[in-house]
Structure 1
Amino acid sequence: MALLITDDCINCDLCPPECPNQAISSDAGIYQIDAARCTECVGHYDQPSCMTVCPVECIEPDPAHRESLDQLAEKYTAMYS
């Protein structure tokens, strides 16, 4: 499942450099996660690095983009092969 950044985001700028897939960007000062690039850090880390650094815990699973661990691993493989 891809992740999403909720409205609780304080735009602290910590999450974009942590994302190994470059899935986090800012549009008009609002951070968003590109579901097509988000693997929840599968293939890179044991847990999503953006969630680890978020001081207000505003990053959560995106119910609109449900994916299994196998699907996330396949997405990672497709991006890096």
Structure 2
Amino acid sequence: MAIMITDECINCGACEPECPNTAIYEGGEEWKWSDGTDLTEVEMEDGSVVSGDESQEPVSDEFYYIVAGKCTECTGFHEEPQCAAVCPVDCCVPDPDYEETEEELTAKKDWLHV
């Protein structure tokens, strides 16, 4: 499953540089699929296609956030999610809305980094 950042976040920013997929952003910051990945186009769930360089709305305006579609729990890079390992207040936790198997996380990693 993807990792999420809870509202206990103190906005220290320790997690952001640790993410190998560039899936973590500061609150209020727009994000792009292409940030830190090889994605040039992304097919959305509704079948539409967006440019990897198209800015997306922030997931949170107040706290650092993780884009679930880019989070692989560091699969293929590290033994454990690095955001959770460095978080001083333990607010990087599994996101129950995005449960994925090890195989799915590996496939997502391969998709992000062609």
With the shorter chain as reference, the TM-score category is over 0.9
Mark the runs of 5 or more structure 2 residues left unpaired by the alignment. Answer: 29-60
Matched, 1:39 2:77: no
How many residue pairs were aligned?
A: 81
Identify the structure with the greater helix proportion.
1
* Amino acid across the alignment from 2:64: Y
For residue 54 of structure 1, what is the aligned residue in structure 2? 87
CA distance in 2 between partners of 1:71 and 1:15 (Å)? 23
Q: TM-score, normalised by structure 2?
A: 0.69
Identity %: 47
Q: Extract structure 1 runs of 4+ deviating beyond 3 A.
A: none
**In the aligned structure 2, how far is the partner of 1:9 from the partner of 1:30?**
6
Which residue in 2 is equivalent to 1:4? 4
Number of the residue aligned with 1:68: 101
CA distance, structure 2, for counterparts of residue 21 and residue 59 of structure 1 = 15
User: CA separation in 2, counterparts of 1:76 and 1:36?
Assistant: 10
Q: In the aligned structure 1, how far is the partner of 2:17 from the partner of 2:64?
A: 12
RMSD: 0.8
TM-score in terms of structure 1 length:
0.95
> What is the DSSP-based 3-state SS (H/G/I as helix, E as strand, rest coil) of the residue aligned with 2:80?
coil
Which amino acid is the alignment partner of residue 69 of structure 1? E
Q: Deviations over 1:8-59 (max 9, x none)?
A: 1101110000101000012234111000100000011010000010000011
Secondary structure, aligned partner of 1:36 = helix
Instruction: Supply the distance in 1 between the matched residues of 2:111 and 2:96 (Cα, whole angstroms).
Output: 22
